[in-house]
Amino acid sequence: MATTTNTETKAIHPVVKSLLEKRGYGEDRLDEFFSWDLRQLPDLTNMKDMEKTALRIIEAIDSGEKIGIYGDYDVDGTTSCALFHQYFQMLDVEVELFQPSRFVEGYGIHPSSVDNALEKGVKLLISVDCGISNLETADYAKEKDLDLIITDHHKDTKEHIPRAYAVVNPNRRDEPENSPLKALAGVGVAFAVCLKVKNLLAKKGVETPSIYPLLQFVGIGTICDMAPLNPMNMKLTRHGLKQIPSTQFAGIECFFSDEDRQAQVIPSEKISFYVGPLINSKGRLDHPEKALNLLISKEHKEAFQYYSHLEISNRERKLIQAQVFEEAKKQVISEMRGTEHLISVVYSPEWHEGVIGIVASKLVETFGVPAVVFTDSEDKNVIKASARSAGDLDLFQNLKECEELFLKFGGHKAAAGLSMPKDNFTDFKNKINMLLSQIPPIARTKQDVFDAQISFIDIDRRLLKQLDMLEPFGMGNAKPLFRMEDARLDSYTILKDVHVKWVFTHKDNPRIKLGGISFNFVGKWGAQSPEEIFQAQSQGLTIYFSLGINRFRGNEIIQLMVEKIYTP
């Protein structure tokens, strides 16, 4: 991920230029896409209640009041808490950190959270990545004479804005509709608050350390929370990932090998597919505190102890997830009838609540339609669910039409969470199926979309190097998916019973070869087997893939990450 100048943009690979044009970055916007210039950022502090928030924080510091930070249990909430902790450390201020358990308090900030803060002597409590929907808690904090500052980025959908001391949220109902700050993750909002405090202290003649290193937390949280990668978030994330190879934060260093840290910049896939799941694993299975303790560790020995807990937890999470997914998949298949399968709605009282969101995503990936996965809550008469959308469907709006059946409900276009009386399960299934039946299939199913059709001979190191310049990849800037039709399958090897290693050749020149890999391919719903593909390829072969580098023993080999492969 190297910086790009005006001169360099003129030499962009035609495939890359075509990709950017499709994403709205024509010739006149190429410099904007590739820019690393932080001076071109919008004013990150330009949000309602921002000055009021920063002044109250400074007042608390000056008067020695105890400050508490309360964050959600996911990666965004955990990195937000860690960012604030590290910032206050720069100011030699100790803060009290709080996070809820997914299984005890649940999502959000609660009246019990206020009580916990007061017991610890907290006078100013700052929420991160949550709070915009917790009206009762804001009222309770006021009643208990605790100054609650809510910093969040989720949609403001309740009957009114919480009556907290201050509410900083780029998605407040009274923020400008066209504000680029709406794309900020919770950790981006936390960073903006720190920036405002720093700026106000500077105006008072108090110089404080640079907060540039805190962008490492912004990069991790932004990617893992799938915040939209508009030019603002691209710059923030690029600068965060650039610093990680030489990070001074012991907790962040634990995630990366010596080989990782030799790179100029950490690739975003390492964050989304490795770092994020590890941080999330504790919050999914029990309490997120060990992940947060890792990110605020000062000593490497202490950090690695917490990191080992995350590794163990993540292995356990994978086993639980695999079992729940297999059971959910069988349930979907058993309920398929002759009619069109519109949505996967499944339930078991035994499923682990911490993995149902991932299972819903895997069901969407498998069947190509939206999914809602239910399990029991603490109250045996209440079930809770994670929902994931497919294609361009605004699942949130469709679920909102079922809201009379729910006890709690929240989310956004692509994902949502809800709880409802168990007795409403059948009514919900019937209603959501009825609603989706009125929407054209192309608008509610996962489509076979790809970014560019390329030829076997287009794939070379120059293309790969330029694709690296498109980093970071994530929501709104997905890793490019290609389609190719001029390759032949030379051979394949099945690894660990489920993965497939492919060797492709050019159809007109068998001496040119490229390797590929498909994870969890064998037994995939609706997919041909490798043997069937090999035998039938004389009729043609279509491959959907992204491009990557396989690094092994100092060698770098171009590799096709094959998502789909089939014959007519």
Task: Go through the domains of the chain in sequence order and give each one's CATH number.
Answer: 6-40 (no CATH), 50-309 (3.90.1640.30), 336-443 (3.10.310.30), 452-566 (2.40.50.460)
Q: What order do you get walking across the sheet with 415-421 strand by strand?
A: 344-347, 371-376, 382-388, 415-421, 408-411
Q: Exposed, middle or buried by CB within 10 Å (0-12, 13-18, 19+), for 137? A: buried
Q: Which two tokens stand for residue 544?
A: 């959907």
Residue 421, preceding bond cis, omega within 30 degrees?
no
- How many whole angstroms separate alpha carbon 549 and alpha carbon 531? 26
Q: Which two tokens stand for residue 502?
A: 């492919």
Residue 10 is predicted with a pLDDT of 56
Whether residue 482 contacts residue 544, with contact meaning beta carbons closer than 8 Å, is answered with: yes
Q: Which two tokens stand for residue 459?
A: 């794939």
Residue 2 is predicted with a pLDDT of 46
- How many whole angstroms separate alpha carbon 127 and alpha carbon 137? 11
b/e map of 213-236 (b: 16 or more CB within 10 Å)? bbbbbbbbbbbbbbbbbbbbbbbb
Whether residue 282 contacts residue 315, with contact meaning beta carbons closer than 8 Å, is answered with: no
Q: Exposed, middle or buried by CB within 10 Å (0-12, 13-18, 19+), for 468? A: middle
SS3 sequence, 371-413?
Answer: EEEEEECCCCCEEEEEEECCCCCCHHHHHHCCHHHCCEEEECC
Residue 7 is predicted with a pLDDT of 38
**Among residues 466, 451, 453, 481, which one has the least CA distance to residue 545?**
481
Whether residue 282 contacts residue 288, with contact meaning beta carbons closer than 8 Å, is answered with: yes
- How many whole angstroms separate alpha carbon 247 and alpha carbon 141? 38
Whether residue 354 contacts residue 313, with contact meaning beta carbons closer than 8 Å, is answered with: no
* Cβ contacts of 21-25, under 8 Å, gap ≥ 24: 22/451, 22/452, 23/477
Q: Is 123 helix (H, G, I), strand (E, B) or coil?
A: strand
Residue 259 is predicted with a pLDDT of 83
Residue 263 is predicted with a pLDDT of 80
- How many whole angstroms separate alpha carbon 150 and alpha carbon 366? 38
Residue 261 is predicted with a pLDDT of 86
Q: How many CB atoms neighbour CB 335 within 10 A?
A: 12
Strands 166-168 vs 147-151: parallel, antiparallel or unpaired: parallel
- How many whole angstroms separate alpha carbon 432 and alpha carbon 454? 39
| Vertex 485 angle, CA 480 and 488, to 5° | 115
Show pLDDT as tens, one digit a residue, over the chain (568 residues): 444 444 355 588 999 999 999 999 999 999 999 999 999 999 999 999 999 999 999 999 999 999 999 999 999 999 999 999 999 999 999 999 999 988 778 788 999 999 999 999 999 999 999 999 999 999 999 999 999 999 999 988 889 999 999 999 999 999 999 999 999 999 999 999 999 999 999 999 999 999 999 999 999 999 999 999 999 999 999 999 999 999 999 999 999 998 888 888 899 999 999 999 999 998 898 888 999 999 999 999 999 999 999 999 999 999 999 999 999 999 999 999 878 999 999 999 999 999 999 999 999 999 999 999 999 998 889 999 999 999 999 999 999 999 999 998 887 788 899 999 999 999 999 999 999 999 999 999 998 889 999 999 999 999 999 999 999 999 999 999 999 999 999 999 999 999 999 999 999 888 899 999 999 999 888 889 999 999 999 888 999 999 988 877 667 889 999 999 999 8
Strands 371-376 vs 344-347: parallel, antiparallel or unpaired: parallel
Residues 6+ apart with CB under 8 A from 327: 348, 351
Please give the full DSSP string across 231-269, using - where no structure is assigned: HHHHHHHHHHHHHGGG---HHHHTT--HHHHTSSS--HH
Please give the single-letter amino acid code of residue 151: T
Please give the single-letter amino acid code of residue 362: K
Residue 106 is predicted with a pLDDT of 79
- How many whole angstroms separate alpha carbon 475 and alpha carbon 412? 13
